[in-house]
Amino acid sequence: MSTMRAPVRVSRDDLPDRVTIWEVGARDGLQNESSVVDTATKVELVHRLAAAGLPVVEATSFVRPDRVPQLADAPAVMAGITRVPGVRYPVLVPNDRGLDAALAAGVTEIAVFASATDSFAQRNLGRPIAEQMAMFTPVVARAREHGLPVRGYVSMCFGDPWEGAVDPAQVIGVCTELLASGCTSLSLGDTIGVATPGQVRSLVDGLVRSGVALDSIGVHFHDTYGQALSNTLAALESGVTTVDSSAGGLGGCPFAESATGNLATEDLVWMLDGLGVETGVDLGALVATSVWMGERLGRAPVSRVVQALGR
Contact predicate 136/153, CB 8 Å: no
Read off the pLDDT of residues 2-55 as tens digits, 9 standing for 90 and up: 578 999 999 999 999 999 999 999 999 998 888 899 999 999 999 999 999 999
Q: What is the pLDDT of residues 221-277, one digit of tens each?
A: 999 999 999 999 999 999 999 999 999 999 854 444 444 689 999 999 999 999 999
What's the number of domains the chain is made of? Answer: 1
Domain membership of residue 286 (yes or no) is: yes
Q: Which domain holds residue 230?
A: 20-309
Asked whether residue 241 is assigned to any structural domain, the reply reads yes
- Answer whether residue 139 shows pLDDT above 80: yes
Per-residue pLDDT at 256: 44
49, part of any domain: yes
pLDDT score recorded for residue 141:
97
Q: Which residues 6+ apart lie within 8 Å of 168 measured at CB?
A: 202, 203, 206
Domain for residue 70, yes or no?
A: yes
pTM as predicted: 0.96
Residues 280-309: tens digit of each pLDDT: 999 999 999 999 999 999 988 999 999 999
**pLDDT tens-digit profile of 80-95?**
999 999 999 999 999 9
Tell me what pLDDT residue 265 has. 98
What CA–CA distance (Å, rounded) separates 148 from 270?
32
For residues 236, 239, 240, 246, the Cα torsion angle rounded to the nearest 10 degrees is 20
148 part of a folded domain: yes
Q: DSSP string covering 52-88, please? A: TT-SEE--EE---TTT-GGGTTHHHHHHH--PPTT-B
Q: What Rg do the C-alpha atoms of the chain give, in angstroms?
A: 18
pLDDT exceeds cutoff 60 at 131: yes
180-215 burial, b if ≥16 CB within 10 A, otherwise e? ebbbbbbbbbbbbbbbebebbbebbeebeeeebeee
Q: How far is CA 101 from CA 62, 117, 236, 251, in A?
A: 7, 28, 35, 24
Is 295 within a domain?
Answer: yes
Contact 183, 150 (CB under 8 A): yes
Please give the Cα distance from 285 to 54 (Å, whole number): 11
**What distance in Å separates the CA atoms of residue 179 and residue 181, rounded to the nearest whole number?**
5
Q: What is the DSSP letter of 111?
A: E
Q: Which residue has the higher pLDDT, 92 or 125?
A: 92
Residue 92 sits in a domain of what CATH number? 3.20.20.70
The answer on pLDDT for 76 being more than 90 is yes
**pLDDT value at residue 50:** 98
First CA to last CA distance, the chain? 13
Predicted pLDDT at 253: 46
How many residues in the chain?
Answer: 311
- What is the average pLDDT value for the chain, to the nearest integer? 94
Longest dimension (CA), the chain: 59
Confidence of residue 1 (pLDDT cuts 50, 70, 90): very low
91 alpha-carbon distance from chain centroid: 11
Q: Is 253 a catalytic residue?
A: yes
What integer pLDDT is reported at residue 260 of this predicted model?
64
Report the pLDDT value the prediction gives residue 252, as an integer from 0 to 100.
53
Please indicate, yes or no, if residue 6 is contained in any of the structural domains.
no
143 is a domain residue: yes
